[in-house]
Structure formats: structure tokens, C-alpha cells
Structure 1
Amino acid sequence: MERLINIDNGGTLTDICVWDGEEFSFTKTLTTPFDLSQCLFDGMAKASTDIFGEEDLPRLLHSTRHIRYSTTQGTNALVERKGPQIGVLTDSPTLAEELRTGDASAELFDDLVGSRVAVIDADRDLEELSQDIVRQVNRLTTDGAARLVIAMADREKERTVKGVLLRKFPRHLLGSVPILFTWEFTPDAVRGRRVWSGIINSFLHPTMERFLYNAEHRLRDHKVKNPLLIYRNDGASSRVAKSVALKTYSSGPRGGLEGTKALSSAYGLEHVLMIDVGGTTTDVGSVKNSTISTDRRGSIRGVPVSFAMSNVHSSGVGGSSVIALRNGVITVGPESVGAAPGPACFGFGGKQATITDVNLLLGVLDPDTYLDGGFSLDAQRSRAVITEVIAGPLGISLEEALIRMEAAYFERMSTSFADDVVDAETTTVAAFGGAGPMSACGAARIAGVRRVLVPRMAAVFSAFGIGFSDIAQTYEANIAGLSANEFAATKTRLRERATRDMFQEGHEIGECRLEWSVVQEDAEGQLLSEDSYSESDPQPSASAHHAMLTLTARFELPHASIPQAEATEKSPAVSSSTRNVRSTAAQVDEVPVFDLDTQKAGAAGAGPAIVEGPYFTARVPQGWKFDVTVAGDLMLTDTIEN
């Protein structure tokens, strides 16, 4: 089969995973924040070297069916408030205060919209309404609004306003001020969610558009015909032109959750907590009985939105998180040094300490094998920074500082997922991301979790998880109170939209699987029930205040699988070397180092030990044992009773 390339773009490193239908090739490259398309192509060029023995990017691209891409660009844009100023035109005098309910909402509204809210009387006669709309739009754009969100009380009033805007502000007069109509964007009848969805999407859209279309253009320069697919936070992928910017937010963690779901099924695990530890954040999600925890109506930065989202929360702790001294206390994050300048040991000018610097000086990391020898780490720089910012001010030795910093990091990481542990005995922590395997056991012990699973592809696991996505589009319509004829027309309209959009994705509707469902919500938009529905079934009962008919059209792509767990004969793991690792301020232990890829299924060992996997280092503390599974994953168990 043709290759499928999955790319997960993070704040510090970008992960590339290539599947040819049988084998995986994967690599990592430093993220280039000045031009994200650069690290995309750098990573694929690096992957081509691994596959062909020499760099041959054109050959890789022309043997690839699709590139599925997930980016933190939208997430970062919202965190850093890097986007256009938004103006809101509404017929509700109370809308602004409604949207500002709660500290998180108020802060985001003030930053994205501020005072750029115009209120009109949509019940006036058309001529007066038109004059008022012109005045208000002119005021909003004069006040700096680069994008407009139209939020009327109902769909008909919004259509009336749209007609006025099209007549009074043809494209050549309004210029480059795009307009989003909230009822067109989503049929969600809960006004706050609907309008917030429009505001956030309008804010994210230009940032995503510039980068993604630039990447598409670069692919065309290589004469690549297959479209770039954008991986979304609903677990599906679509072409750039058919993707909604809001659905790219936090898409990387969804890839990790899809991979975690595959682990849960393969190993028969009741509850798996994903901890995806990147350079800047740790993303935590839950999979119970092989089902991803998902919110029917999600939230972004504490603000409710109309779209379903994985129930993932992020904590400001990662491999590049700054470890600092505040009022005499060692703290971890949320600030991060990112890829530029990066940890001090990267040698790019970093002047702040990170857990990467700590693990280098503790002996956990080998300076010459980091990122599979991608570049060498500079221990002297780490030593100088930690002495200056931690050891010196506290009046302690460098060795004592390292132990305290590691303990603070373990504690901080454990708080990122401890509240998600309902039953420690039935919970498994799946630790991945470049920094996850180094610290997972230390953090899990504090949280009371006794089992940690580190997948062989831990370093690129979210990119691996993207491989479970299909090309899909989802639609919904409110069917409460519809007559039989209106319901039939609604169903036909959804199918026609799916037919058109999937054709533009490159596939006939007959090639796609159609998934219908009926979702019942109460007046506040809380989920009451969700039932599958067949297109040939009679009109369903729509007794709830909001009853939504949803349709997902899915073109299935090939998926990889994780070998099912099975009993294997145990044998001692074979170490390849030893490493001096500091366990206390006064003690350094010579511990065995195991190369994960050279171990047989069933290989077992005990801590203290180091296990080196592809692009990651796992620390096995004293009291933990490890087993290598038939899939080549690392299962770690705490043998010390709490």
C-alpha cells in the first residue's frame, strides 16, 4: 500500500511517523516556530533518510497516500493571544455580559473582543435596520475589528442581517474583514456556546490558514497531488479547505488518546490514564473500557463551545518547563523554554533550568544518545545554570539541588493526573511524549498508581495515534418540533451536504460509511441521551428541548494495530551497558542500561535501571520491575506496598 505519514507538531519537538502498511519508521525534529512548515519538511526529509538510507524527500512524498498533520498552532495562538481583533454584532444588549460569565470567560472575552460589541434592533423596518447595520459595522471596523461575528437571537434574523451586509458591504467595499454567522456555523441553540464557538473560530482561523495553505503550496512545489489532511480534535481528518479552525485546537492530545484506546484494547486494561508529556505541557486524558472520555459539548480554556471535544486537560509541566526558585521554594512551570532557546544543555543559549538538565546531571540521560544521538547535550551548561539559579541561592550543594528538583518535578507531574485516579488498583498510567517515560514511575508512585505502560513508540505516540483516523465530516440539525415532511427534508439536506463535502475530499458518498444518531439535550444543552439511528428508520421521538440529528460521513483509511497481549515465557532482560545514576545527594549507583529494541518478548528486569527506547529514556526506580510485551512495549509494576 502507499505510505501514510502522521505528523504531530509540538512546541519543542515535531514528531513524524511513517507507516507502509507493515512497518513504522519514525523520527523527531526541532520545531521551527518562525516557520512551522520548515520543521514539517525537515522531519519528512529526516524520515526519508531512515527509510531509504539517504535523504530522498521527493521519493517519500510520491510514495505517500496522505499526510495527516496535527499542530499546536491554534492552541498556542489562543494561549499567547496572537490573532485578529474580533467584533461582535448582536441584537442582545446582555450578550457581552453573558459571554463574560466566569473569570476564564471574562478574561478571554476582554482579550479577543473587548469593547468591540455593537447592538442593533433587529425588529426595525428593513431600511432603518440597514442604516443601523452600516453605522455599527463601520464603528466596529474603525475600532480595529479585523473579523466580525454576527450573533442574532434566531436564524431568521441572522439571515436578514446577512442579506443587508451582502447588499451594503460587497466584498470589494468591506475589504478583508471576513464575517462569521453563528447560526450557519453551528445549529446549537444555546446562545453562549454558539457565539463563543464563532468568536474562537474567527480568532484561530487566520493563523491556521496562513500556515496550512503555505504547507500545501510547498507540497505542490514537489508535484504532490494528494491533499494534506488536517487531524482534528474529534479524531478524524479532512482537507485544509474542509477543516474548521476550532476543531484543530488540542488535536494532538486526541491522537494520544486514540493510541491509548488501542493500548487499552490490546492489554485488556480497565482504566488507562494518558499522560502525554511534551516540552511545555502534560496532557491528561482517560480511556475506560476502551472508550475515550469525550464531552458532547466541550470547552476551550474554560469557555463552553458547541462542538464535541475529548475530555483532556493540560498542566504546565513538561520536559522544557522552567524549574525555578520562588520565595525559597523550588517550583516547576508553567513557563517553558520551548525549543528556542531550549534547556541549557541544548547549547542554544538557554539560561534557565529544566528537568532535562536535571536528568542529564543525575545520569539518567546519556549526553551522546539523546534523541538517538541527534545532538549532544552539554552537561557543563546545565551545571552552571542549576548552580546559579537553585543551588547557590539555597546555599546547598549541586547534588542536593538535583535531588530536590527531581522530587519537585515528580510532585508537580503527579498533581497533573492524581485527581483522575478513581481506583489506583485498576488504573494504568500510559506514559509517552519525549519526557514522559523518564518521570512516570516517580509521579505514579506519589499518586498511588502501581502500573505504568510505556509504549515502544512513546516518543512519537500521538503521531502514531493519528494513524487511527479516517477522512470524515460531521453535520447536525435541530429536529425538535419538526413535522414529518420537515424532518425528511432535514435528513435529505444533511445527506446532500455530506455528498458534496466528501466528493470535495475526493470520495463518492457510496464509498463512505454513514453514521446517523439522535442526541437529546435539555434546555441548558446538557446531554440526556444519544442513540444510533438508521436512515431508513421512521422519524425519532424528539421530546427534549433540543433534539439533534447528527450525521458523520466516513471514508475509512487503513489502520495499524497493536498485537494482543498474550502469555510469554519470561527471561532475564539483557543489559547493554551500565550508567552511574545519582539516587541521593550522597549516593551514585551503577545501574544496568537496557536497549528496549533488542529485548525479546517476555524479557524482565528490576530497578534501579534505565531502559533506552527509540528517542526516549525510561527510568525504572528502586522497587519497580519491568516486562517487555509481545508488542515491544514496556510494562512497569511497583512492587513496594504503599
Structure 2
Amino acid sequence: MALQINIDNGGTLTDICILDDTGVRKTKVLTTPYDLSKCFFEGLQKASGVIYGQTDVRRLLEEVDLIRYSTTQGTNAICERKGPRLGLIIDAQSRDLPVRLAEHDPEVFDVLVGDRVVFLDSATVMGDTAEVDVVKAINHLTATGANRLVVSFGGDDFLAVEDRFKKIALRKYPRHLLGAVPILYGSDLTADQDVVRRTWTAVINSFLHPAMEAFLFNAESRLREYRTKNPLLIFRNDGDASRVAKTVAINTYSSGPRGGMEGVKAFSRLYGFTDSVSIDVGGTTTDIGQYLNGTVAEVRRGHVEGISVSIPLCEIMSAGAGGSSIFRVVNNHITIGPDSVGAVPGPACFGRGGKEATITDAGLLCGLFDPKSYFGGGMTLDVERATNAVTTNIAEPLRLKLDDALLQMELAYEEKIAVELHRFTKISKDTVMLAFGGAGPLNACGVAEKAGIDQVAIPQMAAVFSAYGIGSCDVSQRYTVMLEQHDTASLKDALDALKVKASRDMYAEGYEAGNYAMEARLVADFGNGREEIQTLDDEPVFPAAFDKAGTVELELKAVKALRTEGAKKASFTRGKPAVSVGVRNVLTRSKGRVDVPVYQLAQLQKGDWAIGPAILEEDFFTCRVLDGWAFVVSDAGDVLLNRKG
């Protein structure tokens, strides 16, 4: 196997997974949200130390064959409502469009756009006085505080209208001028006829674009200084990857969680699970997905925070609760998130200035962590600061003793995730819950109990599972055009044009013609939610059955296949009782504070098992094994927890 580095950037921690001929290794660094390129290169420094025994980034970048990157920054930005102020220019014939957009999520629409909306008649844009009205619209929005604009017209001729607007805007506000306002057009991203989906797609892309652009091009520039032989590949939310210059911002949304779902798919097939739900708990969010009937759910028109968009997305729901989410008391009840302390300042116990209470602080005060060995020994936790944060923010407002407040925090946290699991997935008696992410295993048993799940699986690579999951992605480019004429000649012309574009883009990815495959298909929309899809062969013919469709879209995918489907199988079979490395005094729910055994995963062998209450840990995750649960280690080094033994 070639040397590969997979990096998954989260809101609190950035995970690094190293794959080579010796196996799989991992490490982590704190995310630096003020400069993501800093934690990116700190991750490469730590990876070189893991490989060579000393820091040598230059050697690593000379020898590495692939660097893949995924991120939850888009997910976190939407969840925390942090980004640019957008202005929206829409068709005057669609006066109800802002209301229809807000119906998807009133709060998100208000934060991203609010009242920064201008209505402009499409006939005016196509007429002789267009320049005056276009300039007025742009100036009005910038005067109201918009620093990025989105233009999205409705009607059958929206492509022509937006093209005319674009030419005027470029002439009046050339991009080389200082202060030129970035403008994105809905038609730049999709030919989707649904104006609500198309507009939301453009709005979300504009919201995510600045931060992602600044970081990714900065990171790629620094990599070039080291003369890295291969470009940085960005893992996308469609499960494939592409280089920075060929990646659209909205395709980075939830790409980290999608990497986790690729891991869920592979893990479930390894153990023969047919129904798996997953909780990927990071610092800011818990990402929830489901593997069912051999695959993970993907829809052609996906959802971002429940908002319908035009691009295909894996069905993953992000709940605003993670290891660094802020706990507060509101109306005598504990609330969690969606805001997070992130990595800076981080939970109070990190000792970096944080004063808010988090589940990480509660875990420390419950005795689940060793303050001296946390984060692989790379961070010492501050018990006093954690105590002050929980006492001030939770215990005193609720008039509870500290231990009672800690238990209330744990229960509230587990209840929130369990509720989201039931809201988003279908749980049956056969469901296995996969818990991963740095904070995933910690309260997994409690979440499962509240969700009615009796089995929990924890991958050996749980702490970097999303980074691990992106390790076999393909490199691809995707294209979609609307067919205005429903006949074979028009189909062939459109397909030929897309193939030329694909060949140029794949050449830019580093692949000559013949080294990648092209897959084409037609998608016909007959209305009332009815769609039909037909794959095209080398001699495409427009299907007569599609003549009556309202719209027909041609989709082309150019893909360099890198995935390999493994035939390996593994199992969980009890062997000998596990040997603990000591005890830790832990706050339990029924017996108060008692000593419980501590098991270190790295020292356990296949078949080793034990019953709770106990603590199971490794360098970058801790699992609280509740009373009534037992765990066993598989022949692949993964862990299965069973309720009631």
C-alpha cells in the first residue's frame, strides 16, 4: 500500500489517519479555527513523528502518495450560524419566494439573508435599461450590509436571465477592482428547475465559500512550497474526492460525516450487520446516519440542516450536541448547544480560558478521565476549572449538589442524542449502534439505553473513524445539464459537450484519457414526485418513454476508481476474561462514587471480555461501560457492547 494521509478537520479536534504497508495509525491535534491551515500542518507534523519517530514534514511530503482532507467546518458553520451576510436578488414575479425559502428553516434564512432581498423583473434584466436597475440592486444590498450576493431567477428562461445579469455585473463591477462584491448565480451550480431548491443551494454555497476558499488555497499553496508531488484531494459529501480548484464549497458540507458513513458501510459489511445506526460525536455536533439493506441512504436532492437543495447528499442529520457544546440552565431545565466552545477556548477543563460547562467537563468530574493521560498524554486536564464551570453554570442555578448536577448533565446529553436518533432513523430489535468520533464512545451505553438499542459497536479506529473512512474514495467530477430538446441528436450533442469538459477537468486532476471511466444517465421528472432514471450506453438513444416528461436532465460522472471491495470478515466471540490495568473512582447512577476497573484497548486480545460498570479506553477515546453491559473484543480489534450481558 502506498503512503496515504487522511485528515478530517472537526470543530474541536482534527483527526489524522496514516495508512501504509505497516497498517493503520492515528493521531490528533487541536483545531485552530482562526487559521485552519495551522492545525492542518500541525497534523502533518504529528503524522511525520508517528511515521519516522521525529518531526520531518519535508520528508513526509516527498514520500506521501495521497493526502485526503474532509471537514465538518461547513456543518459547524451552519449549525452555529457563523458566516458572511448575504444579499439575495430574485425575480419580481416571485414575491412569495422569500416566504417559501424561509418555510424550510426560518432561523437559518433570517441569519443568512434576512431582509436583504431585492426583487428585479426578469424582463427588465433582458431589456434596454437593465444596467441601471442591476446597479441599483447591487448598490442597495451592499448598502444594507451584504458582503456577498446571490442571484436566482425563476421561470423557464432563468439561465438566459442570469447570464445577462452576469455580463452586466462584470462590466460594471469588474473583479480586478478593490471592493468588487462576489456574486454567485443559482445557474452556476445547478440546472434544477425548482427555484426554491436552486436558490437555497446557491445561498448555502455562498455562505460556506469564503472560509473554505481561504483555508484550502492557503493549505495547497503551503504544500506546493514543499514540492509535494500530488495535489491535496478534498473529500466531498458525495463520497468521492477532487482537487481544491475543482471543488464547490457546498460539496464540502458534511464531508467529514460522509467519511464516517463510508466507514459505517465497510464496518457493517465486515461483521455482517444489516441494520446499523451511527452517532459520530465530535466537539460541536453529533452526526447521525443509518446503514440499511447493504447501503447508506443517498438522495438525488439532498438536505442541509433539513433544507432541500439541488445536489445529491448522503442522508446524515447533524444535531447541535458534542463534546464541547455548551450546557446552560434555561427555565430551570438543562439545555445543550447548539453553540460550542470549540477548541479555543475549549471546555473549562482544557485550561485555555473556557468558563462554560460541557460534557467533557462533566466526564472529568465524574471520574471517567485520567487528568494526566487525556489526549494520549498530550494534555493535562484542570479539575478545579471544570468544577467552577459546572458549579457556576449548572449546579447553583438548579440548586443541586455537584454530583447531582453532573448526573443531570449526563442524562440530558444522552436524552438529546437518543431523541435525535429516533427522529432521524428507524430502530428495530436488530439495530446495532456504531459509536465513533472522539466523544462518541463516552456515553454510548447511556444513549443506547434511552434509544432502546441493546448492542453498541465501537471501532478500534473510533477516534479517527471519519478520517479512516475516506481512505478509499474515488476521484471524480460530476456534471448536469437540462435537455431543452427531447431527441437523440440533442442528447448526443449535450453528452459530447460534457465529455469534453470532463476530459479537461480530469486532466487537471492528473488523469489522461483512458485512465478513468465515464458514466452517463438521464433523469426524467414527470411531476408529482415521479422520477425515472435510465443509464446510457456508448451509443445513446433518447428513450421514447421520456417524451412526456416535464424536464429531462443529463448527468455525467467521470471517475478514477480507487476503491477496493474487501472480502474480509470478522466476528465477536468470547474468549478469556479481560485483565484490567487498575481502577478509577467513578460517579455511578445507582451506587454513588465507587471504584471500577479500567481496561486499555491496546492491551486487550481478541475474545477478551468484561462486564460493567467499567471504563474502556485508548489514547483518544474513553467508553463508560454501564452496569448491565458487557464488552468483547473482536478478532479485528473492534469492540461490541451488549446490554444485559
Q: Give the structure-2-normalised TM-score.
A: 0.92
Q: Which residue of 2 aligns with 1:610?
A: 615
Distance 1:208 1:237 in 2: 15
Q: Which of 208, 212, 215 is residue 208 of structure 1 equivalent to?
A: 212
State percent identity of aligned pairs.
44
Q: Which of 378, 402, 405 is residue 374 of structure 1 equivalent to?
A: 378
Q: Which moved more, 1:114-123 or 1:348-357?
A: 114-123
Matching residue's letter, 2:603: T
Q: 1:306 to 1:397 in 2, by over 3 A?
A: same
1:130 to partner: Cα distance: 4.2
Q: Which residue of 2 aligns with 1:570?
A: 575
Q: Which of 581, 590, 595 is residue 586 of structure 2 equivalent to?
A: 581
Distance 2:144 2:396 in 1: 51
Q: Which residue of 2 aligns with 1:457?
A: 461
Aligned residue for 1:510, secondary structure, equals coil
Matching residue's letter, 1:258: E
Q: Which moved more, 1:377-386 or 1:560-569?
A: 560-569
Matching residue's letter, 2:614: A
Does the 8 A contact of 1:100 with 1:109 survive in 2? Answer: no
Matching residue's letter, 1:340: V
Structure 1, residues 559-599: CA drift from partner, whole Å, max 9, x if none? Answer: 59594124756222222222222214753332222221222
5+ residue gaps, structure 2, are: none
Does the 8 A contact of 2:574 with 2:632 survive in 1? Answer: no
Aligned residue for 1:214, secondary structure, equals helix
Aligned residue for 2:343, secondary structure, equals coil
Q: Which of 601, 620, 627 is residue 622 of structure 1 equivalent to?
A: 627
Aligned residue for 1:509, secondary structure, equals coil
Distance 1:546 1:355 in 2: 50
Q: 1:473 to 1:389 in 2, by over 3 A?
A: same
Does the 8 A contact of 2:612 with 2:626 survive in 1? Answer: yes
Q: Which residue of 2 aligns with 1:61?
A: 61
Q: 1:83 to 1:390 in 2, by over 3 A?
A: closer
Distance 2:185 2:406 in 1: 55
Does the 8 A contact of 2:104 with 2:308 survive in 1? Answer: no
Does the 8 A contact of 1:433 with 1:461 survive in 2? Answer: yes
Structure 1, residues 236-284: CA drift from partner, whole Å, max 9, x if none? Answer: 1111110001111111111111100111111111111110011111110
Q: Which residue of 1 aligns with 2:46?
A: 46
Q: Which residue of 2 aligns with 1:226?
A: 230
Corresponding position: 1:115 with 2:142? no
Does the 8 A contact of 1:591 with 1:610 survive in 2? Answer: yes
Distance 1:612 1:448 in 2: 24
Aligned residue for 2:486, secondary structure, equals coil
Distance 1:64 1:192 in 2: 43
Aligned residue for 1:280, secondary structure, equals coil
Distance 1:197 1:424 in 2: 34
Does the 8 A contact of 2:297 with 2:315 survive in 1? Answer: yes
Q: 1:324-473 alignment to 2 at 5 Å? A: 324-473=328-477
Structure 1, residues 332-351: CA drift from partner, whole Å, max 9, x if none? Answer: 33332221222221111222
How many pairs does the alignment contain? 639
1:174 to partner: Cα distance: 8.9
Does the 8 A contact of 1:580 with 1:591 survive in 2? Answer: yes
1:110 to partner: Cα distance: 6.2
Distance 1:413 1:569 in 2: 30
Does the 8 A contact of 2:348 with 2:355 survive in 1? Answer: yes
Aligned residue for 2:615, secondary structure, equals strand
Q: Which residue of 1 aligns with 2:542?
A: 539
Corresponding position: 1:37 with 2:37? yes
Q: Which of 260, 263, 266 is residue 259 of structure 1 equivalent to?
A: 263
1:184 to partner: Cα distance: 3.6
1:417 to partner: Cα distance: 0.8
Aligned residue for 2:129, secondary structure, equals helix
Distance 2:176 2:340 in 1: 44
1:636 to partner: Cα distance: 0.8
Q: Which residue of 1 aligns with 2:324?
A: 320
Does the 8 A contact of 1:468 with 1:560 survive in 2? Answer: no
Q: Which moved more, 1:127-136 or 1:302-311?
A: 127-136
Corresponding position: 1:282 with 2:286? yes
Q: Which of 473, 478, 491 is residue 495 of structure 2 equivalent to?
A: 491
Distance 1:357 1:123 in 2: 59
Distance 2:59 2:475 in 1: 24
Does the 8 A contact of 2:102 with 2:109 survive in 1? Answer: no
Q: Which residue of 2 aligns with 1:12?
A: 12
Q: 1:394 to 1:341 in 2, by over 3 A?
A: same
Q: Which moved more, 1:567-576 or 1:603-612?
A: 567-576
Does the 8 A contact of 1:87 with 1:146 survive in 2? Answer: no
Distance 2:471 2:236 in 1: 12
Does the 8 A contact of 2:632 with 2:640 survive in 1? Answer: yes
Q: 1:138-287 alignment to 2 at 5 Å? A: 138-152=139-153, 153=155, 154=157, 155-167=159-171, 169-172=173-176, 176-287=180-291
Q: 1:562 to 1:620 in 2, by over 3 A?
A: farther
Q: Which moved more, 1:20-29 or 1:100-109?
A: 100-109
Distance 1:51 1:125 in 2: 61
Q: 1:29 to 1:172 in 2, by over 3 A?
A: closer
Distance 1:312 1:125 in 2: 41
Q: Which moved more, 1:528-537 or 1:499-508?
A: 528-537
Does the 8 A contact of 1:480 with 1:545 survive in 2? Answer: no
Distance 1:561 1:49 in 2: 30
Distance 2:372 2:385 in 1: 15
Q: 1:180 to 1:429 in 2, by over 3 A?
A: same
Matching residue's letter, 1:580: N
Matching residue's letter, 2:539: S
Distance 1:92 1:22 in 2: 63
Q: 1:141 to 1:321 in 2, by over 3 A?
A: closer
1:437 to partner: Cα distance: 0.5
Does the 8 A contact of 1:2 with 1:63 survive in 2? Answer: no
Matching residue's letter, 1:602: G
Distance 1:110 1:336 in 2: 18
Aligned residue for 2:527, secondary structure, equals coil
Q: 1:281 to 1:235 in 2, by over 3 A?
A: same
Matching residue's letter, 2:352: F
Q: 1:562 to 1:314 in 2, by over 3 A?
A: farther
Aligned residue for 2:370, secondary structure, equals coil
Does the 8 A contact of 1:279 with 1:320 survive in 2? Answer: yes
Q: Which residue of 2 aligns with 1:596?
A: 601
Q: 1:328 to 1:129 in 2, by over 3 A?
A: closer
Matching residue's letter, 2:58: P
Q: Give the structure-1-normalised TM-score.
A: 0.93
1:609 to partner: Cα distance: 1.6
5+ residue gaps, structure 1, are: none
Q: 1:358 to 1:266 in 2, by over 3 A?
A: same
Does the 8 A contact of 1:293 with 1:311 survive in 2? Answer: yes
Structure 1, residues 351-376: CA drift from partner, whole Å, max 9, x if none? Answer: 22222122222222111221111111
Compute the RMSD of aligned alpha carbons. 2.5
Q: 1:218 to 1:405 in 2, by over 3 A?
A: same
Does the 8 A contact of 2:86 with 2:150 survive in 1? Answer: no
Distance 1:327 1:168 in 2: 53
Q: 1:562 to 1:342 in 2, by over 3 A?
A: farther
Aligned residue for 1:58, secondary structure, equals helix
Distance 2:364 2:179 in 1: 54
Structure 1, residues 381-407: CA drift from partner, whole Å, max 9, x if none? Answer: 222332333334444332233223222
Distance 1:604 1:480 in 2: 63
Distance 1:406 1:124 in 2: 57
